[in-house]
Structure 1
Amino acid sequence: MKHSWMHKVVMGIAVLGILQGCQAAKAPESEKKDTSQTTPSSEQKKVTSDVGATRDVDGVVITLQEAGYTKQRNTVDQDQPKQVVRLQFHIKNTTAEEIGVGSGNFIVYDAENQPLDVYGFDDSFGDVIHTGNELTGPAYFKVNENKPYKVVYMDMDEKIKGEWKIENLKELP
């Protein structure tokens, strides 16, 4: 009986060792994939913006579709900012559970790593996205002069999950 029990323990440790070895062997390949996705080619180095880039954040697939300055202003704020940046997002829920996502999950930082204030607008997006469903909508931020910008997606645990760099923004129609 002891031999059988010991044999199971040794076999279990051996299986764990093999699995650990397989995982370690795959790690460089997965790191290579990540590097190739984030390392721009020589042509892409000219364009440093991540507009159009998609990030898969634990099954929440987020695309920054558009980024630019808008002349739109809300009618609530008496002290209006000189510039407002509008970011258009497309989000798909590929998880097994519904998720809540909105413009409040995104933070925009300037070149000095200071967060920009959210600019409240009536069409800012936010909703519960059921499994397999999608949501598209804009988020607005008050702009200062410290460019370029970094867009960060944070989940409900307030952990950074996705980042996009945006530069050379143009006026949107």
Structure 2
Amino acid sequence: MKRIMTLMCMVMVASITLLGCSNTDDTKKNEDSKQETTKKNEIKADSKATYGFKDVVDADGLRIEFTKAELLEAEGKKDSILKLSFELSNPTADKKGFTAINLEVKNKEGELLDVYPGENYGKEIETGTTDKGAGYFMVKGSAPFKVTYIDPDHKEVTATWELALQK
């Protein structure tokens, strides 16, 4: 009886040890996989390329990712405002400014949308930080929308995204 108990204890200790080791390896693999995914999604801005949702575009050190495009109601007029949500990060050693006013938005027909006067994002992103925000535009025409970021320092197109509406 004593041998059976000792044997059972040894089996339990071995099982716990093996489970502990495998969880550490699995966690490490998951972390490595997440890092690879993040690196794959980061793209150096190319003014001739077109990006989409979840593409993290490095625009001269400022990383921009559009996360959602949706139509909002305003003053009783359905679908009159386009809300573009984005995430920003600054891995550089300098502050980086970003404002939704530096976004040029065109509809499917190529018409330029006016900036909606409201709570449009505009801030300096501190070194090593991330932030979320939104820009608002008056809708005319139909989706998809081409969103172009114009570098405020050089007054030139840095990156363009083509964004469909999401619900």
| TM tier, smaller | 0.5 to 0.7
**2:161 aligned partner:** 164
CA–CA separation in structure 1 for the residues paired with 2:58 and 2:79: 34
**1:102 aligned partner:** 99
Give the C-alpha shift of residue 64 in structure 1.
Answer: 0.2
> Which secondary structure does the structure 2 equivalent of 1:131 belong to?
coil
Residue 126 (structure 1) aligned with residue 138 (structure 2): no
CA–CA separation in structure 1 for the residues paired with 2:138 and 2:52: 20
Greater per-residue strand proportion: 2
CA–CA separation in structure 2 for the residues paired with 1:81 and 1:117: 17
Letter in 1 for 2:126: H
8 A contact 1:81–1:142 mirrored in 2: no
106-115 or 58-67: which moved more? Answer: 106-115
Which of structure 1's runs of 4+ aligned residues deviate more than 3 A? 78-82
8 A contact 2:113–2:138 mirrored in 1: yes
**1:6 aligned partner:** none
Letter in 2 for 1:65: T
8 A contact 1:64–1:88 mirrored in 2: yes
Match of 1:58 among 57, 60, 63: 60
8 A contact 1:67–1:87 mirrored in 2: yes
Cα displacement string for residues 108-130 of structure 1 (whole angstroms, at most 9, x for unaligned residues): 112232211011223x2111112
CA–CA separation in structure 2 for the residues paired with 1:170 and 1:99: 29
Q: Kindly, what percent of the aligned residue pairs are identical?
A: 28
Give the C-alpha shift of residue 82 in structure 1.
Answer: 5.0
62-71 or 93-102: which moved more? Answer: 93-102
Cα displacement string for residues 81-112 of structure 1 (whole angstroms, at most 9, x for unaligned residues): 85211010111112221121111111111223
**2:144 aligned partner:** 148
Give the C-alpha shift of residue 133 in structure 1.
Answer: 1.6
CA separation of 1:142 and 1:81: change in aligned 2, threshold 3 A: farther
Question: TM-score, normalised on structure 2?
Answer: 0.62
> Which secondary structure does the structure 1 equivalent of 2:71 belong to?
strand
Q: How many residues in Structure 1 have an aligned counterpart in Structure 2?
A: 120
Give the C-alpha shift of residue 80 in structure 1.
Answer: 6.6
Structure 1: segments with no counterpart, 5+ residues: 1-32, 40-48
Higher Cα radius of gyration: 2
Structure 2: segments with no counterpart, 5+ residues: 1-42
Letter in 2 for 1:151: V
8 A contact 2:100–2:121 mirrored in 1: yes
CA RMSD of aligned residues (A): 2.7
> Which secondary structure does the structure 2 equivalent of 1:104 belong to?
helix
User: Within 5 Å, which residues of 2 pair with 1:68-87?
Assistant: 68-71=70-73, 73=74, 83-87=80-84
